Amino acid sequence: MRILYLHQYFTTPAMPGGTRSYEMARRLVASGHEVHLITADRQAHGGAWRETDEAGIHVHWCAVPYSNHMDYRRRIQAFFQFAWRAAQRAAGLPGDIIFASSTPLTIALPAVWAARKKSVPMVFEVRDLWPEMPIAIGALRSRPAIAAARWLERFAYRNAAHVVALSPGMKQGVVATGYPEDRVTVIPNSCDLRLFRVNPEVGLAFRQRCHWLQHRPLVVYAGTLNRLNDVVYLAKLAALVGQREPEVRFLVVGEGSNRQDLREEAENLGVLDRNFFMMPMVPKADVPAVLSAADMATSLFVDVRQMWSNSANKVFDALAAGRPIAINHKGWLADLIDETGCGLVLDPHDPTSSAARRRLNPSSPK
């Protein structure tokens, strides 16, 4: 089968970010399918389409700059610019089915266009409940913008032969719009276990490169730093845990629009470069080394109910690496942690009580 896979944020293990579409697509190739993946070259600033082969995936890269540092208007422009160019590309490629992965919701526009042009089915993957989340955090405020986003959501579902949701809560959100429940399949995030099964020496080497770490206990956050990710919470934990266990170290590995705010907050709390450290984002292939060095990983979000259905890569990366995971929100992942004992569910409004949790205060270094 010839599959046209549309995902604006496609990344390979050599790039920073989640690799779900890469992992899914290469397994489709391994099963004998021909996969053409249409995506944005987010670091490029012009030029024609370029093509690469990534583990057998035919990847079509369109130069559309995008960054979490962009303001809201420029992001919207990037979404529609990619949608227009992706529609033209997809329409010109052979395909038996269209698979479109959001966010952004605008990915539905080229997907539906190509599906109609070819008279083939379109499968729509829901990675986040949009537009509920941007509305909840105030990123979408005007009535016209909210109305347009909700129309786009209904348009995507109405034209999908099937919907893939990344969590039970996301499935409920899709069904709540009137979409048939029997046409929604839940496929959570996951990990390539072979990637994360590294020799312990890899983590030890990472520790030795960090003069401030060495053999001390380490709590890690590796991911995006934006409005949705409440990483300031980790800086507050560092300040409180530091009073009890000054040897415990906290490390943030990531980039995003809130990086400078986080740095300033850590400075104000007196923890920056004392027991709280920051590093740039690393390629996905380097994340196993960071987690191998960690005693605990974290996944953090602002406390809004719409975030409870998230399916964060960070949680599954930590479990694949054999590390406990701490989160600061409720929902299905919190239930999973409580049921299995694979980590901690922290109170998002009370970092003091969270800092007192035993697993954040190990009695002896690693």
Sign of CA dihedral 108, 111, 113, 115: negative
Name the helix (H) or strand (E) containing 111: helix 108-118
Question: What's the mean pLDDT in 328-347?
Answer: 95
Closest CA to 11 of 291, 319, 290, 287: 287
- Give how far Cα 221 sits from Cα of 41, 207, 326, Å: 26, 15, 10
Q: What is the C-alpha separation between 313 and 159, in angstroms, rounded? A: 28
Exposed/middle/buried for residue 332 (C-beta within 10 Å: 0-12, 13-18, 19+): middle
Percent of the chain residues topping a pLDDT of 70: 98
HEC per residue, 192-230: CHHHHCCCHHHHHHHHHHCCCCCCCCEEEEECCCCCCCC
Question: What's the mean pLDDT in 228-238?
Answer: 95
- The predicted-structure confidence for 252-289, as pLDDT tens digits, reads as follows 999 998 999 999 999 999 999 999 999 999 999 999 99
Q: What is the C-alpha separation between 30 and 33, in angstroms, rounded? A: 7
- Token readout for 26 is 């290469």
Closest CA to 102 of 148, 25, 163, 179: 163
- The predicted-structure confidence for 19-59, as pLDDT tens digits, reads as follows 999 999 999 999 999 999 999 998 877 778 999 999 999 99
User: What structural domains does the chain harbor?
Assistant: 2-186 (3.40.50.2000), 194-360 (3.40.50.2000)
pLDDT score of 363 more than 70 = no
- Token readout for 207 is 């520790």
